[in-house]
Structure 1
């Protein structure tokens, strides 16, 4: 333990992204209402205070948010239940309007350019959103209600010093306070055995390997023209990377004449490699609709609010056998409803009675198979996990499936009110919020939570309902049709070919095998706390001062923190739980590191929508002021 005297504050917030910023804003709102002196806060981030790692201001302009601008704020409104005072502030669209009115921004001329082009339906760049977060932090500081010391450094441990907790940084600095808020956001995982082996293989054979991680912290550009390059990962990062690469290549995208769906054609520059891309599912995340287009509303038939309410009274629910079949019915129903409207000849017979009595996914899939004999529109729930039902189909069959994927994506983006796959995406977006509510209530058994909800449903819901912007998907589809991007197939296997000294990618479903000297991982190394690489969280877990949250003895992916009661008289909440079950009331854990006890906190705040992220920030702010050492602040609540 270091003997150096620490710098002292009323609170230390570890994490300078939106959760940390929100905690500062809520603290400032409470201090301003009370009329007490300023709260002295230290905000620590390894990358940058304000934007944090995800929203770095100096990252490539091609990296986009996957949420529309009008769905982004860091200020709570009446939709978010909290006990602290209201403190209205601009959402992202309001802020951009102010930037336009002022005619410039200190961060650079590009901020005015992007703000001038922003509408509510725009998918903003991540860097622009980072400037918004930074400006909101600066506005809170300007009120005088908080004094913020910004610390760029890596927190590695916590120590106890009397009644205070000390945050220890890697460079030896020590920051002490009565309250520490852990708001790291998207934490990364330690290298897996697979990744470690690939790093070693690349070093031995002088190959290029980009391992999983945050895209702003990796380099993907400078690929060899005309040569195969292997890519693993078809989620959100993939689309950002492709946008950056396409800008580097300098080819031209043009609208296809007469195509009402907005199809693009790519005209190569000659600098392009051949990107051979795969993943477990083998197909990319599904697109968001074109910004501003009306989306088919989802009205449940079986998964009603009353049905979900009844489940919240239980703690023994098995997701796979009790909940998923009901959701599957809804997905099948909305697909068939929409298909009946857009292509009535493709639907055969009466299918609703069959769904009414379907008790398993297999029974739902049987109804879908019987109702849609037309191969162009045939679809089953099993395809969410396995696009070919796990059956080998060869390169020709896969090529046909990819052509259908392109057609479905173009239709879904351009006509989200009518297209059947858009209807499924929309239903998933609505129902996943209700599943989060069930998780918050602790209704699932530990086995089902780990095996089903965390094991596969969360991933499927992200793939359908949290996909990339339409403009980026159109770009990728054009590159596929131009032959620059090839989807190799599902169940991707990456191996180190020691004989050839090359990376080897293969899909047992398509039979396609490709070797290359370059492998890019466009998947994130994120979020599972038992394998986290965050040194502070690792130290807490390894020492027993924190533990992984478990349900019925089955571990989740998150740290355990206490629940929070939204009441001004409750002076705890979201506090760290040690391996022996004791609660450290001086440490507040916000959001992603404790996501299993705070469902929904990983999602950014949206105006008019209840936000667990902002509600948690208010819980943290209340504790900061209750435990503040300065008497005038301590009486603020």
Structure 2
């Protein structure tokens, strides 16, 4: 099959690919260069990518407010390329409303009319935004774009050129290839493979882990137990989709000060029995538009983080977590003291000043809080029962308290202690990401602590679902449509019963079912990826897993990047023997351990590793394209 030649081939049609094209267009316009010839390859869609497909259910929501979404860098993002302002999501929606129609469909106009800065937009609407920004860049004439729907399976080298090989044999050749695959998925684990085969053999229904837009969770058997594993962001989207299908009614509870809802079933509901490792759902975002208590650190100040980065060899669990814990404990106690002064006792601030370990922080919390309604410890963040069996009654009490705390946190984020902790985590996790980017942690601590548990705990607190979706889940819990199984969920194929079996060693609950839904994603860990191109590069030594102190991380290695027009490379692929391929740029999630923060979408007014990386890639594409033109 003949080769097609371009200045750049971008593998991945989501926001990183779109942002790279936008930065190429900006550079080409300023330089007065000929149009840059670009091919974008994506297995599903160019523009939205897999996460923001425009044909996914309307119930799937972004977990970021609309005013926190853009694909255009502003002055807050350090980059060497020319500025090129463009509309953020809210501005774009305003333009759609003014035009009164949209070629994708009437639903785009309808959703744009409802959008405010505090709205959590549908994923499909954000996908249309990304697509429109891509088309606008192409319309300037600065970029000639070829869209390729297909699966990239290999990357070949011939001199200065690289050829992306697609399934089916199509070949796309360029001087620069940008790998921007985004949320890579994992190969089936041995457990998942066993469950797949068990379901096929016994005629059961099993929905395995993956991107929710590529799965079908609907048409569940009414009145039956259905097992669900996963209590993160995807779980809330799936519940929203299912509730719309069931057709039950949500009514406000009269007189409830926290906006509690009552779910009135339609009769089409199954009984969802849900569990996970932690056993409790992600924490809610505050109610849209409500003021949130600002966080100002007392101990984890920028200078302290800078000193750690300069020193290096940091052990997160021993040195960083206790200080973060002091901040979480402080804001919790401050909020409780304001809400219920009688519930707090002693000189807790002096106690926290003296605390040097997480255990000592928890001891201060236990000694200072004398009302069980406000009791809380750091250990609860990843072990709600502190790892102790609690039985059915103890777990029911904990779930009732969780519902009460979530309602309070959503409805009054300025005063509620749990909202204060969530806000502190949201602020401090960014500093932890910067320490990672600066190579401050030992390899053992990075993998064991930061990647091993802190990233997950911080997501559960600071990157949760919209409040409206949480209110629905809480109403379903109180209506008995959803039951939380408990922490440490174990799923097995029960051959004797011919059913899936789930159990929690913490609560003692055991449930069997003909249906098992995985609402978790098999995401992010490159060593186990099922992406055929990344797999080919890793398996042949043309790429390698990033290590720190010889300890493998979850990402592939890319070279460091400098924000300078004089820099020759940056974010380039590193082979097993340590050689750097200057013709291949790796952006975002596949190289996350060397590009912390690049998995997070871009927010107006906030430095964006995603957009900075796109400009670094565009600089290299333009430099190599100019070399081609001279030759």
TM-score (norm 2): 0.99
Contact 1:178–1:629 (8 Å) recurs in 2 = no
String of CA shifts for 1:574-593, please: whole Å, max 9, x gaps: 00000000000000000000
Identify the residue that residue 548 of structure 1 maps to in structure 2: 545
Q: Distance in 1 between matches of 2:365 and 2:457?
A: 19
Q: 1:395 aligns with which of 392, 397, 400?
A: 392
Pick from 138, 142, 146 the counterpart of residue 141 of structure 1: 138
SS class of match (2:320): helix
Specify the SS of the correspondent of 1:148: strand
The alignment partner of 2:409 has SS state of helix
Query: 1:363/1:630 Cα in 2 relative to 1: closer, same or farther (>3 Å)?
Result: closer
Deviations 1:240-289 (A, max 9, x none): 00000000000001111111211111000000000000001000000000
- Aligned twin of 2:515: 518
Aligned residues of 1:530 and 1:558 also touching (Cα < 8 A): yes
Q: Distance in 2 between matches of 1:215 and 1:555?
A: 29
**Structure 1 residue aligned with 2:363:** 366
Distance (Å, rounded) in 1 between the aligned partners of 2:354 and 2:345: 18
Task: Look up the match of 1:99.
Answer: 96
Q: Counterpart of 2:500? A: 503
**CA deviation profile, 1:360-392 (whole Å, cap 9, x unmatched):** 111100100011121111100000011011111
2:588 pairs with 1:591: yes
- Retained in 2: the 8 A contact 1:10–1:629? no
Match of 1:218 in 2: 215
Query: Is 2:192 aligned against 1:195?
Result: yes
Q: CA deviation at 1:314?
A: 2.1
CA distance in structure 2 between the partners assigned to 1:309 and 1:390 by the alignment: 35
Report SS of the residue matched to 1:627. Answer: helix
CA distances 1:539-592 after superposition (whole Å, capped 9, x unpaired): 000000000000000000000000100000002000000000000000000000
1:456 alignment counterpart = 453
Match of 1:62 in 2: 59
Name segments (4+ residues, structure 1) moved above 4 Å.
629-632
| Residue segments in structure 1 that go unaligned for 5+ positions in a row | none
1:45 to 34, 42, 45: 42
2:278 is the counterpart of 1:278: no
Deviations 1:68-123 (A, max 9, x none): 00000000000000000000000000000000000010000000000000000000
- 1:630 is displaced (CA, Å) by 7.4
2:112 aligned partner: 115
Equivalence map 1:78-477=2 (5 Å): 78-477=75-474
How far apart in 2 are the matches of 1:143 and 1:413? 44
- Which of 536, 559, 563 pairs up with 1:562? 559
- 3-state SS, counterpart of residue 486 of structure 1: strand
Gaps of 5+ in 2: none
Return the alpha-carbon distance in structure 2 between the equivalents of residues 251 and 317 of structure 1.
52
Equivalent residue for 1:535, pick from 529, 532, 535? 532
Whole-Å Cα distance in 2 between the matches of residues 536 and 73 of structure 1?
29
Quick one: distance in 2 between partners of 1:163 and 1:401? 61
- Residue 376 of structure 1: SS of its match in structure 2? helix
Give the TM-score normalised by structure 1: 0.98
Post-superposition offset of 1:631 = 5.6
How far apart are the structure 2 equivalents of 1:228 and 1:288?
Answer: 29
Tell me the secondary structure at the aligned position of residue 136 of structure 1.
helix
**Whole-Å separation in 2 of the counterparts to 1:275 and 1:430:** 34
SS in 1 for 2:56: coil
Alpha-carbon separation, structure 2, partners of 1:157 and 1:84: 30
Aligned to 1:26: 23
Which residue matches 2:74?
77
Counterpart CA distance in 1 for 2:144 and 2:48 is 18
Structure 1 residues 587-623: Cα deviation after superposition (integer angstroms, max 9, x where no partner): 0000000000000000000000000000000000000
Query: Alpha-carbon deviations, 1:24-81, whole Å to 9, x = none?
Result: 0000000000111100000000000000000000000000000000000000000000
Which string of whole-angstrom CA distances, capped at 9 and with x for unpartnered residues, describes residues 449-478 of structure 1?
000000000000000000000000000000
Distance in 1 between the 2:350 and 2:407 partners? 32
CA separation in 1, counterparts of 2:311 and 2:21?
A: 37
Superposed CA offset, 1:468-520 (max 9, x none): 00000000000000000000111111111110000001111111111000000
Q: Which moved more, 1:361-370 or 1:347-356?
A: 347-356
* Inter-partner Cα distance in structure 1 for 2:375 and 2:336: 10
Alignment: residue pair count = 631
